[in-house]
């Protein structure tokens, strides 16, 4: 158990895992890395910048003397829209990557099964050891794709709920009834 704290042992285990999953697992890893980089960027935005974006919109609205005209309503909608645009940045791309990762996992399943059938065709029999490698190559990318997708789905749903709350709250705060 403590062997995995050794960096060399951990590296070897990771290398063996990636080799067992085949080339599709590498693609899933790259896509997952990009998705998590964007998720981390969004977490940083929500924890640091979002408050100042909302405060700037509120200050801009409060600085206006006219809150009742058609033009004032257009400015209000613009402020809400700009804040929403800042809050939704990368959400569509994250959602797309969440949708792509299970499909990549299925691609890994297909390539693993093709490997199994190739082994059966080349050897002329069912070599259990070689077939097991193909089954492993089929299941690991599927698992990795689903885990990556579910982890991203949790965060993207949270981000989208936060956007809805922000838009509703800002719509109330930038009221035309002042």
Inter-residue contact 155 to 42 (CB < 8 Å) = yes
**Phi/psi at 127 (5° precision):** -75, 110
Distance CA 5, CA 7 (A): 6
**Phi/psi at 118 (5° precision):** -65, -40
Distance CA 133, CA 139 (A): 10
Per-residue pLDDT of the chain (178 residues; tens, 9 = 90+): 567 678 888 888 888 888 888 899 999 999 999 999 999 999 999 999 999 999 999 999 999 888 888 999 999 999 999 999 999 999 999 999 999 999 999 999 999 888 888 878 887 777 777 778 788 888 999 999 999 999 999 999 999 999 999 999 999 998 876 4
Give the pLDDT of residue 139.
93
With CA atoms as reference, report the closest residue to 41 among 139, 155, 127, 138: 155
Distance CA 44, CA 55 (A): 17
Give the pLDDT of residue 177.
63
Give the pLDDT of residue 61.
93
């Amino acid at each position: 158990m403590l062997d995995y704290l050794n960096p060399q042992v951990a590296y070897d285990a990771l290398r063996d895992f990636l080799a067992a999953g085949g080339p599709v697992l590498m693609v899933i890893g790259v896509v997952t890395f990009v998705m998590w980089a964007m998720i981390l960027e969004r977490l940083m935005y929500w924890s640091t910048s979002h408050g100042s974006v909302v405060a700037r919109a509120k200050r801009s609205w409060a600085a206006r003397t006219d809150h009742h005209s058609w033009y004032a309503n257009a400015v209000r909608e613009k402020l809400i829209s700009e804040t929403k645009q800042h809050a939704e940045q990368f959400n569509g791309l994250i959602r797309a990557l969440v949708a792509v990762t299970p499909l990549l996992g299925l691609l890994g399943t297909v390539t693993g099964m093709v490997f199994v059938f190739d082994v059966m065709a080349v050897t002329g029999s069912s070599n259990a050891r070689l077939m097991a490698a193909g089954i492993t190559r089929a299941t690991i990318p599927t698992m990795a794709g689903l885990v990556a997708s579910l982890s991203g789905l949790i965060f993207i749903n949270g981000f989208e709920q936060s956007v809805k709350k922000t838009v509703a709250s800002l719509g109330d705060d930038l009221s035309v009834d002042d």
